[in-house]
Amino acid sequence: MGDIETDYLVVGAGATGMAFVDTLIAESDANVVIVDRRHRPGGHWLDAYPFVRLHQPSANYGVNSRRLGNDRIDESGPNAGFYERATAAEICDYFNRVLVEDLIPTGRVRFLGMSDYQGTDTEGHHVVSLLTGATTTIKVRRRLVDATYVESSIPSRHTPGYAIDPQVRLIPPNDLVDLDEPAGGFTVLGAGKTAMDTCNWLLDAGVDPGAIHWVRPRDPWLFNRAAMQPLDLVGAYMQMQASWVASAATCVDGASFARDLEDRGVFVRIDSRIEPEAFRGATISLQELESLRSIEHVVRCRVHRIGVRGMATDQGEVETAAGSVYVDCTAAGVRPTVARPIFEGDRMTLQYTTIGIVPWGAATIAAVEARPDDDAEKNRLCPVLAFTGAVADIPTLSLAGMSGLMVRGSDPALSTWAEASRLNPIAGVMNHMDDPRVPAAFETLGANIGPALANLARVTEGEAAGVGA
């Protein structure tokens, strides 16, 4: 194929790449080429298990310029009382419409699907078609944008880290809906949100809790969905933020931070007897948690091999039901990453700038990129949060997240942009001062933000020096 010239080459058309491009196009005059190995935008959602939904409300997911869903509060089911959450099919359709109906008609965006980005040399950046093998060389005037760095790891594209004997039936959760005969039982492997969704789906479908074995080596801390509500319920989100900052002001390490957030109703866990060791920012409702607690066969071990009679684990042999279907939910979802500067000369690496709400972070980076500032200033405005999945790192994540909110909040142009962004979970908060939780939260935030930043700096310095917990 021929050569292409563009201002930005964005690799990855998942939520991160799409939210970035949408805001960059709105805030600048740039041209963009987006490439992705998949055939359409949407990233991991295109291969997600069929019963997945957003963890968070659709109201602040997607891209800035187009609403996702109808901002409706669900009246029944496990999400009753909370803002609606899109299914994978709705998310994929949404991102495709953003591309086809909004971005491409600007005449400034081109999408190359089924195209693998293979790197750069003196000729330019090389992209190979997965259909024809033809190479396109792309000359980039401004920056290469890596929107794959925080790419999701999902069950249907994941190779399990344990051995499986040939007669064993191991499937990703995607294939549960294709089972055509009753199983002898179900063994769900994994401790994250995918495993929780899978267990709840089985229970909702009428599987007896006693027929489920759940291999859950490390329990996670989870956000209480009640605390993550925007728009008319934004008082809950503000209260969560105030609690977060208050906990940050007094914590001595990640574990005490998390337990304090639990006391304040922000964090929840599946089993009060187990101290969670993981935190990946997933969100769950109390109703879903209650349902999960009905599963009593919880196996706390790491699996080495699955055989017909059971599993070989680091805790010895574990028996499972004959004819059990094993469901692999061990893909990390949100993968651990190492922080690197977002803005670096002729490249950008899109990463988390907020805890959760991935598209909000990506759109914020685009709004910063559209400014005339140099890279040092842009990086100052966008401190990176590196998710390791460890509870011990919650103070480090929080320090980066809160520092970013503070520096961006004190920039008038960025504040004005953020206040008007639908991706911002507290957009429109000033219209809700009649909710007593909102002024109370502002007061708590004002009183605690200074002490919180100072305490987090102490705690994280201590941890870096090896004196933390």
Ligand X SMILES: Cc1cc2nc3c(=O)[nH]c(=O)nc-3n(C[C@H](O)[C@H](O)[C@H](O)COP(=O)(O)OP(=O)(O)OC[C@H]3O[C@@H](n4cnc5c(N)ncnc54)[C@H](O)[C@@H]3O)c2cc1C
Q: Which of 6, 10, 17, 460 binds ligand X (CB under 6 A)?
A: 17
Crossing angle for the helix pair 358-369 and 412-420, nearest 10 degrees?
140
| Contact string 191-220 vs ligand X (x = CB under 6 A) | ---x--------------------------
How many Cα atoms within 13 Å fall on the side-chain side of residue 49?
28
Please state the closest distance from residue 129 (CB atom) to ligand X, in A.
11
- Containing 257, the helix (H) or strand (E) segment is helix 254-263
Nearer to ligand X, 313 or 364 (CB): 364
Look-up of token digits 């291969």: 47
Report 324-343 residues binding ligand X (CB under 6 A). 333-334
Q: Among residues 89, 80, 64, 110, which one has the least CA distance to residue 357?
A: 64
Query: For residues 366 and 34, is the Cβ–Cβ distance under 8 A?
Result: no
Q: Which stretch binds ligand X (CB under 6 A): 51-59, 206-214, 294-302, 438-446?
A: 51-59
Give the type of residue at 134.
Answer: A
Report 268-307 residues binding ligand X (CB under 6 A). none
Read off the tokens for 383: 């401190």
Q: Which stretch binds ligand X (CB under 6 A): 25-33, 72-80, 217-225, 354-362?
A: 354-362
Rounded Cα gap, residues 248 and 82, in angstroms: 27
Nearer to ligand X, 147 or 240 (CB): 147
Rounded Cα gap, residues 54 and 239, in angstroms: 22
What secondary structure letter does DSSP report for 98? I
Report 114-173 residues binding ligand X (CB under 6 A). 116-117, 147-148, 150-152, 154
Q: Which of 15, 195, 245, 365 binds ligand X (CB under 6 A)?
A: 15
Please state the closest distance from residue 48 (CB atom) to ligand X, in A.
6
Rounded Cα gap, residues 411 and 404, in angstroms: 11
Please state the closest distance from residue 374 (CB atom) to ligand X, in A.
26
Q: Can you point out the beta strands (E) in 302-460?
A: 303-306, 310-313, 316-319, 324-328, 343-344, 347-349
Q: How many residues at the interface with ligand X, by CB under 6 A?
A: 33
**52 near ligand X, rule: CB under 6 A:** yes
Q: Which stretch binds ligand X (CB under 6 A): 180-188, 258-266, 353-361, 422-430?
A: 353-361
Please state the closest distance from residue 362 (CB atom) to ligand X, in A.
8
Q: Which stretch binds ligand X (CB under 6 A): 34-42, 219-227, 364-372, 407-415?
A: 34-42
Sign of CA dihedral 164, 166, 169, 171: positive
Rounded Cα gap, residues 78 and 197, in angstroms: 12
Nearer to ligand X, 343 or 360 (CB): 360
Q: Which of 24, 30, 31, 36 binds ligand X (CB under 6 A)?
A: 36
Q: Which of 173, 220, 230, 356 binds ligand X (CB under 6 A)?
A: 356
User: Residues with Cβ < 8 Å from 358, sequence gap 6 or more?
Assistant: 15, 16, 19, 150, 352
Query: For residues 89 and 49, is the Cβ–Cβ distance under 8 A?
Result: no
**11 near ligand X, rule: CB under 6 A:** yes
Q: Which of 34, 195, 358, 423 binds ligand X (CB under 6 A)?
A: 358
Nearer to ligand X, 259 or 280 (CB): 280
Rounded Cα gap, residues 355 and 363, in angstroms: 14
Q: Among residues 237, 173, 223, which one has the least CA distance to residue 55?
A: 223
**222 near ligand X, rule: CB under 6 A:** no
What residues line the site for ligand X (CB under 6 A)? 11-17, 35-38, 43-44, 48, 52, 54-56, 61, 116-117, 147-148, 150-152, 154, 194, 333-334, 356-358
